Every structure is written in structure tokens, then in C-alpha cells.
Amino acid sequence: MFKKEVERRFLIKKGSLKNEKFTKKIRIIQGYYNLKNLIDIEPIKENLFKYPFLKKEIVRIRIENKKDIYLTLKRGKGVERYEFEIKLDFNKKIYSFLKNDEKVLKKIRKEFIMDGFKAMLDSFTERYKGVKIVEVEFKNKREAKNFQPPKNFIEITDFIYLTNKSMYFNDEEKILKRIREIYDSKNQK
């Protein structure tokens, strides 16, 4: 049911990956919700019946390229986490719900290979316009530990306030201020 996810996350500066060859581009909108508040939307109601533990959780709803919808529950923190994901058929009510949520995160994800590992560049738009985060996926913790990121990558894997969930729920000015502080401290080294 839950699958293990091993990844490290990095803030990057604009232009850091300008020569990278991207293999896939995905437009994403996502938010985090208690599904019991969305019970009247049929695919959500059906999945709450199938997976009752979802009623007690805050679940990510993600729409990719205005057509694919995913309900995702993540547990844990740091490099190794667990993920439960369900793909839903496209639903106009869910799409409208997310489009009308002013806290929703919007980003363009570009996939690429970095040192043999799958990597994704998330370029945020709107609320976090200009913020760029790279996620690199690994098979296990040993691979993650041994990975040497480029010098212009700033590790944020263990920064709880820079998870997508935290960015959704918290005030963007505070998050953007913290990101500027991270960049400033990196530039002073």
C-alpha cells in the first residue's frame, strides 16, 4: 500500500541548470486538504470508502497537465518517507476546487537525469514565483548519502518549513524571507 520514497531536496539559484537536457515537462497545481470536507465529490467519496484511514489525514491533491489527478498521502520526514498514491479520472469539480483555492501551489516540473539518478526541477509560479527546488530520487539511503550535489545546490531535505505541504499552509512572505536568508548564508561561505 505505502511505497518507500528516498530523495534529497535542494534550493538552486536561477540559471543553475541552464545547460541541462530535460526529458519531460509537467504543469502542476496542488493543495493539501482534509478529504472529509470534500466528501460530496464522487471520486473522493468512493476512495474514502475504500481507504477509510484517509479520513483522518491531510492529503495532497495534485493535477498534472490539467488532466491527471492524484491523491497522495506522505508519512515521515527527511531523506526516507512513505507515500500512498491513488490516480483518479479527471473530474471538473476537483479541478475547479483547486483552481479556486488561493493557497494552491503552482509549478512547472522538468525531469532530467543527474549523475545517473532521476531528478526533477520544480520552478514555482505565482505564490512562490522564482523559487526553484530540485529533488533527486534514490533507491536507498546509502545512494542518497553518497550523492555529491553541485556546489550551487543548497540542501533543504531536512528543512520542514520548505516542504510543499508547509509552503502551502504557511505565509509565503515568511517562507520567502527564510529562503533569502538561506541564499545569503550560502553566499557568505
Across 163-172, b (16+ Cβ under 10 Å) vs e yields bbeebbeeeb
pLDDT at 36 over 90: no
Query: Does the global pTM surpass 0.85?
Result: yes
Rg (CA), the chain: 17
Query: pLDDT digits over 104-133, tens only?
Result: 999 999 999 999 999 999 999 999 999 999
Cα three-residue angle 87-93-95, rounded to 5 degrees: 60
Q: What pLDDT is attached to residue 178?
A: 94
Q: Which three cell numbers stand for residue 105?
A: 501551489
Exposure of 28 in the CB half-sphere (CA atoms within 13 A): 21
Query: pLDDT digits over 143-166, tens only?
Result: 999 999 998 899 999 999 999 999
Give the torsion through C-alpha atoms of 178, 133, 5, 44, to 10 deg: 90
**By C-alpha distance, which of 2, 24, 14 is closest to 118?**
24
Residue 1 contacts residue 84 (beta carbons within 8 Å)? yes
Across 12-50, b (16+ Cβ under 10 Å) vs e yields beeebbeeeeeeeeeebbbbbbebeebeebebbeebbee
Bridge pairing between strands 58-64 and 153-155:
unpaired
Thinking of the domain 3-187, which architecture would CATH place it in? Beta Barrel (2.40)
pLDDT at 189 over 70: no
Average pLDDT estimate for 20-49: 91
Q: Where do the domains of the chain lie?
A: 3-187
Query: pLDDT digits over 15-33, tens only?
Result: 788 888 999 999 999 999 9
